[in-house]
Amino acid sequence: MSRLQGNKVTISYGDKDIVKSLDISIPDHKITSIIGPNGCGKSTLLKGLSRILSVKTGEIILDGKNIHEQSTKDVAKKIAVLPQSPDVSDGLSVEELVSYGRFPYQKGFGRLSAEDKMEIDWALRVTGTWDYKTRNVNDLSGGQRQRVWIAMALAQKTDIIFLDEPTTYLDISHQLEILELVQTLNREEGCTIIMVLHDINQAIRFSDHLIAMREGEIIKEGTPEEVLTKDILAKVFNIDAELSNDPRNGKPMLVTYDLLCRHYMKDVVEDYE
């Protein structure tokens, strides 16, 4: 049994159900990526699994207990969350931001212990942010900032890390740097990673497990080989996809694609004209 599961989970905004009665089990010590079109409920599901959002019905189970019945500090010692495009206060240094990851372990007036400082130093070194730890976070490049946020998550010393679109607004080289770092954390530290990605080929390349969603429901989940098929891509993204095998790793790769409804759109335009 995996540490993190959802049973018949429905999550809503107002009267609208965004995630609809899902059963889900996150594989331990693996990288899981959630994919799907805009508005399908990817980020909502991630926020529900990480307790940022409450569920309308069903339950999220973490280590055998309902996650909403556990204390905030206890949950924060088990899971860390990197939200999409997080903001940071002006004047905050890299080291100061990373130190926030030690909040669940602090007592009294919140002074950093020797153990806290050791974990902060470790997180800075593992993420390659040690050399600019005294710099202002807002003075860094997008890729550097993402590394700092990941360092803060690591300083929490959790086994489970959530990342909501961690490559947003980054150029391709910085995207690869971040995803390779995430993969290293999984392979070398054993972290369970759950992330939302838009780039299908990146999701294939860096994930052990994929969850494909559409309109609040899971269409298919499994290995990249099980999920990335012409039929599944048609159902999830409404595309006619051409797939091949990546010569470097043997995984499926999206080569090119067309909209399945293109002929319909062409007819609509011609009728209008």
Confirm if 165 and 84 have CB atoms less than 8 A apart.
yes
Q: Where are the domains of the chain?
A: 1-78+159-228, 87-157
Q: Please state, in angstroms and rounded to a whole number, the distance separating the CA atoms of residues 171 and 166.
A: 12
- According to CATH, the topology of domain 1-78+159-228 is Rossmann fold (3.40.50)
Q: Round to whole Å and give the CA distance between 146 and 170.
A: 9
CA-wise closest residue to 216 among 25, 5, 45: 45
Number of C-beta neighbours around residue 251 at 10 A: 16
Alpha helices in 158-261 (DSSP H): 172-189, 200-206, 224-227, 230-237
CA atoms within 13 A on the CB side of 101: 32
- Dist. CA 228–CA 241, nearest whole Å: 10
- Check if the beta carbon of residue 223 is closer than 8 Å to that of residue 210: yes
Sequential pLDDT tens for the chain (273 residues): 899 999 999 999 999 999 999 999 999 999 999 999 999 999 999 999 999 999 999 999 999 999 999 999 999 999 999 988 788 888 899 999 999 999 999 876 668 999 999 999 999 999 999 999 999 999 999 899 999 999 999 999 999 999 999 998 889 999 999 999 999 999 999 999 999 999 999 999 999 999 999 999 999 999 999 999 999 999 999 999 999 999 998 999 999 999 997 654 454 445 444
Query: Is there a contact between 236 and 38 (Cβ–Cβ < 8 Å)?
Result: no
C-beta atoms surrounding 90 within 10 Å: 7
